[in-house]
A = this chain, B = another copy of it.
Amino acid sequence: MIDELRQYSQEFLASLYRRMVLVREFELRAIEERRGGLIPGFIHSCVGQEASAVGATAALREDDVITSTHRGHGHLLGKGGAPQYMMAELAARSSGYCLGRGGSLHISDFDLGILGANGIVGGGIPIAVGAALAFQMQHSSRVALAFFGDGAVNEGAFHEAANLAGLWALPVILFCENNLYGEGTPQDRQAPIADLAKRAESYGFPGVIVDGNDVLAVYATVKAAVSRARAGEGPTLVEAKTYRFRGHYEGDPQVYRKPGEMESWRQRDPVPAFRQRLLTSGRFDEAALKVLEQGVQAELDEAVAFAAAAPYPEVGEALSGVYGETHGGLVF
């Protein structure tokens, strides 16, 4: 374990940890602010899945792109999404990423290569494959990464997109976060196989399983997949085994959990686990981590303050941004 850490720089390890804390705390803060009334819409938090979100995105370049899901805050923050614009979007303000039009399910930042969260299970996968097609045609070294859940692999969209990606050896990583549930239905009642990485064989490319609660393992796995993709060797399906600690959405009574399951996964909570590892390695001390953690809190305080102070959209704004060209306003 200590060996494994040795290959990474101090800055990199710190940034991974900071980002994981940011994701965790962003979610908890958003949930709180939703209760407090700042945020009007639903939240599907990724608490428990920080390692997979952060590890995967850390393996990408800034000019690489991702497509995300309904459970996307971690992916976006990992890819560099700014907490204040995200929070402002959740708070439905015109300073939000999507000017208040998208909300949690649709946050995007094209400058950062975030092609969008998505409200349709599996809906982002073909889009990532299309982005990868563009990169291939442009002879660029950019890659695309599609995030999706264990439930999404049973959608036709996954299948068609994976087949096309394999056929054309596109530079795309299909990243499945297998958190054992799709809404209230356990994974083993949604598909007849438990290791979804296996499905890659149908599409002629490798499928890899990784401990989704181990940020370095995720990072290394995705890094290898990205190298393959950049080298023109085509896609990889990565399955990160993980678990979500909160309801499918905030308010979900979670009647479906198997007994003992939550407790056993709690033992493997990715954020304290990585924290402990950093301490054990001797390369970080308690004080240094506290500074990082306080930095996150400060950033989130600012993000919330920014969101709360941000203006609401003007009603008329609803009529703009549907089209690039409106032909004299005719399209409405």
Contact = CB atoms under 8 A, between A and B. Distances in A.
A169 B202 CA distance: 20
Contacts of A201: 193, 198, 201-202
Interface string A135-179: 000000000000000000011111110010011010000000000
B154 A156 contact: no
A6 interface: no
A199 interface: yes
Interface in A213-229: none
Contacts of A202: 193, 198-199, 201-202
Contacts of A199: 202
A8 B185 CA distance: 48
A166 B154 contact: no
A189 interface: yes
B156 A160 contact: yes
A154 B165 CA distance: 12
Contact of A156 (B159, B167, B189, B203): B159
A181 interface: no
A80 interface: no
Contact of A157 (B156, B191, B203, B205): B156
A163 B182 CA distance: 15
A130 interface: no
A158 B162 CA distance: 14
16 contacts: A154-B159, A154-B160, A155-B159, A159-B159, A159-B160, A163-B191, A167-B189, A167-B190, A167-B191, A192-B203, A193-B202, A193-B203, A198-B201, A201-B201, A201-B202, A202-B202
